[in-house]
Amino acid sequence: MFYLREEDVGQNRAEATLPRLAELNAYVAVSSTRQPLSQDLLAPFQVVVLTNSSLEEQLWVGDFCHSHGIKLVVADTRGLFGQLFCDFGDDMVVTDTNGEQPLSAMVSMVTKGCPGEVTCLDEARHGFETGDFVTFTEVEGMEELNGCGPVEIRVLGPYTFSIGDTSGFGDYVRGGIVTQVKMPKHIRFKRLREALAEPELMITDFGKAERPPIMHWGWQALHRFIRQHGRPPRPRHQGDAAEVVALTREVAPGAELDQDLLRELAFQATGDLAPVNAFIGGLAAQEVMKAVSGKFTPITQWLYFDALECLPEENKETVLSEEQCRPRNSRYDGQIAVFGAELQAKLGAQKYFVVGAGAIGCELLKNFAMVGLGCGPEGCVTVTDMDTIEKSNLNRQFLFRPWDVTKLKSERAAAAVREMNPALQVSSRPDRVGPDTERVYDDDFFEALDGVANALDNVDARLYMDRRCVYYRKPLLESGTLGTKGNVQVVIPFLSESYSSSQDPPEKAIPICTLKNFPNAIEHTLQWARDEFEGLFKQPAENVNQYLTWVSGVGGGTQQPPCTPPIAPTLHGTPRTPCMAPTLPGTPRTPYIAPISLKTNSGTLFWSGPKRCPHPLVFDPDNPLHLDYVMAAANLFAQSYGIGGSRDRGAVAELLRHVRVPPFAPKAGVRIHVSDQELQSTTTVGATVGGFGATYGCWRYLGGLEKRGEYGVEAPMGADDGRLEELKASLPSPEELPGFRMFPIDFEKDDDTNFHMDFIVAASNLRAENYDIPPADRHKSKLIAGKIIPAIATTTGAVVGLACLELYKLVQGHRRLGSYKNAFLNLALPFVGFSEPLACPRNKYYEVEWTLWDRFEVQGLQPDGQEMTLRQFLAYFKKEHRLEITMLSQGVSMLYSFFMPAAKLRERHDQPMTEIVARVSKKKVGRHVKALVFELCCNDDTDADIEVPYVRYTIR
């Protein structure tokens, strides 16, 4: 148990655990007792969880709980084996089976008939399934559908479904939104005694689909053995294992048994592995949450798990002898019982790098401390994270406590696991991994490692660490979670593909024309508000600062200052007090250009389908939402200019009552783009409008300049060259503004005092009001606009448990790809699945096979101590590899190409390679760099292009 420490040895486990458990959440009351289980003790509880209990105890507790409406979870682990059982009563009501957001689609037609057929817009598939229930809103004509109770559907196609009898309804005219409704699902559970005889088994690994029934019988035989002998079978004891096999035959007479599987169950009966406990414990905890909340589908009813691939690939009987696995009065005896003492020594000598100390990082470090990774005199674990602990982290990053808030995650996580296992050689760093810190995490650092474990929350950092692991040929444990979903990927040098080899599909983007002209969901207005935030409070300030720091003559030429239009209003506008009222997010121009009765060339109404007709807003200083917008925007403008703000809502409201808002007057000649394709066709105008309108935001009065239409493209000021030159001439030169700078604002969602989310919520909801879109409260807005990734401790525990099972294989040096497992789970469904990692793709030039793990090794320093020149480099590949280099690059720098001007080629031919790199990249090669990476384009003997590995060019 991760709550126990060295000083707890000899104490009652529950009592020793209690104070540390209570630290995790002061709002949860916890208590312990030494009383034996009894009906009176169980009666007050909603859920009972049994762990490490006898079968007899499980049976009577199961009978009592089932008959008294108490939910029961039974969890147990034996070495690399795990067992889970759930009984949630005769009528368990599940209110949400999968935890996904209800699907929604726009209606384009509803027929009258029995059944009536609904056709959705063909912009996207509706995603519904037969048996789903839906409701309708905003339907015109067939208004009987609006507000009616959920109706069951039958899917007819990706865009159509039937809904029952609509023959007596009115004629459908237009519009409508159909939304999925989650209906309660009733599940009946058998009591344990019945389920033992007639098991329902959940399959976790379809490559082992035959094993769960055998383990179900074997586990009962194990209980019989313990009852008869008063102890579990001894590690690797042949006689005890044979008896367990015989007892299994009694439990399941006539059944076909896998004797090797049963023998392993007996061999590992005293085994106790932190990763298996984490996996089964994470699943069990999620089942408890399901039992009390009715949210997500429970396991029905038995789950059996094994990870026997973790055992040695070769000579298992020799490596895992009874002597090797005997107890040693060590904290690792439960692990030694499974893997033997030699692996324990190997674990202690490992050097691992944990990148990130958030939810996954905390779980990784806990597991590493428990298994003894880096706990030997030669081992070490390094953890890095530049973030500090926030209060919201405490619900899932359990190494931290309330008094750790504002401190560095890496430091506090290292201190916590050092307390769990004082032998752990752990060091912490606050450095972000990336090109900027390669002086810290240099060649010496990576070459000394045995492996890397990622605990990152973004793809860019994952891709970077993946590249580093491939370059240094280090194994990588990659894992991630998203609410109840999680995955594990293991990257094995020279065996598997890397993380970068395959990519997730890109996140679905909202079309620009939808954001600008036709929003129909709160997600659209929130994204629009986020874009406005960047365009008002970040980009203009960055542009101004760039202009102010611009100098001539850089790099032998003239570097142009930033384009005038984006900075003109910012420099021309006179900073006012923060209560100066910017306008509301925008007055819709579209109704004036396209009235609600407008029809297209085909005769259909323009305002139909996803296009909602907007209406203008009239500014009202007494409207709290209007005041919210002004307060947030004005204070953010003040911050960007470095002047003081005001939080006095009453004073600002009073000032606004005296502000004269001019009446809205639409411009003529404005064109509305109805699709991104149409928008892209106006590239000339669009390019000019680009950063121009976004910068102008709320400066209509402050800068005195016209801006582009919020809902269409107006003729931009910058399109007139004369006006552009006039603006340029009117700008003050950088020398005229000594010491002046602006302060770009980076969006930060978690500080409730900085006005960032205040602006987003107000701007989004005002625009939503323009388009009659239901508003979103602050919590929902923060989730969407802040792109908050759902994270729960149960999924994290289960995922990291599976990742650390792969660690056992890496440390032993498994070389069969089939021994490793990538994992995928969704605890809400519930689903757990495994797959073999994909082999690294193989390429070939001439007769040489290579993969992403291969490269050319070139020694840059010659025997005479001189470095190789470009001429020698090209000749080396021609002679040694029969390759004609046509292009040579390092990073983004082109060092050589066949089309290079002759004069430049003559100049470079006899220069050392590092000198060429320094000249082209304009950066000196750091002393920490041992080798450079070169990318090649080559031709073979037949002058055909061929793909070849990269070059590692060693210079030190």
The CB density around residue 159, as the number of other CB atoms within 10 Å, is: 17
Query: Alpha-carbon distance 826 to 716, whole Å?
Result: 50
Closest Cα to residue 219, out of 74, 122, 111, 356? 74
* 289, 795 contact by CB (below 8 A): no
Say how far apart CA 110 and CA 159 lie, in whole Å: 12
- How far is 464 from 456, CA to CA, in rounded Å? 11
User: Residue 324 CA to chain centroid, in angstroms?
Assistant: 41
Scanning 697-846, the segments in alpha helix (DSSP H) are: 721-730, 756-770, 778-785, 793-812
Q: What is the DSSP letter of 603?
A: S
List the catalytic residue out of 120, 325, 513, 579: 513
Q: What type of residue is 860?
A: G
Strand, helix or coil at 19? helix
How far apart CA 5 and CA 273 sit, in angstroms, is 17
Nearest C-alpha neighbor of 287 from the set 278, 277, 297: 297
903 contacts: CB under 8 Å, gap ≥ 6: none
In angstroms, rounded to a whole number, what is the distance separating the alpha carbons of residues 771 and 617? 10
User: Would you tell me how many other CB atoms lie within 10 Å of the CB of residue 460?
Assistant: 9
Which helix (H) or strand (E) covers residue 536, if one does?
A: helix 522-537
Cα–Cα distance, 417 to 415 (Å, whole number): 6
- Strand 71-78 to strand 47-51: parallel, antiparallel, or no bridges (unpaired)? parallel
| Helices 259-267, 211-229: inter-axial angle, 10-degree rounding | 40
Euclidean distance between CA atoms 236 and 21, whole angstroms: 35
Other beta carbons within 10 angstroms of residue 489's beta carbon come to: 27
| C-alpha R_g of the chain | 33
Q: Is 132 left (phi over 0), alpha (psi -120 to 50) or beta?
A: beta
Distance in angstroms (rounded) separating the CA atoms of residues 174 and 171: 10
Interatomic CA distance for residues 821 and 803, integer angstroms: 9
Strand pairing partners for 791?
483
Cα 655 off chain centre by: 45
Q: What is the dihedral of CA 142, 146, 152, 154, to 10 degrees?
A: 40
120-151: string of b/e by CB count within 10 Å (b at 16+)? beeeeebebeeebebbbebbeebbebeeeeeb
Pairwise CA distance, residues 333 & 377, whole Å: 19
Buried b (16+ CB within 10 A) or exposed e, 780-794: ebbebbbeeeebbbb
Q: Count the neighbouring beta carbons within 10 Å of the beta carbon of residue 537.
A: 25
89: left (phi over 0), alpha (psi -120 to 50) or beta: left
DSSP state of 75: E
Token pair listed for 263: 């023998």
Q: Which two tokens stand for residue 549?
A: 């720091």
User: Could you give the C-alpha distances from 662 to 614, 659, 665, 701, 706, in angstroms and in order?
Assistant: 20, 9, 9, 10, 14
| Pairwise CA distance, residues 661 & 618, whole Å | 9
Residue 362 catalytic?
Answer: no
Least Cα distance to 170 among 213, 140, 214 occurs for: 140
Q: Which residues form the catalytic set?
A: 513
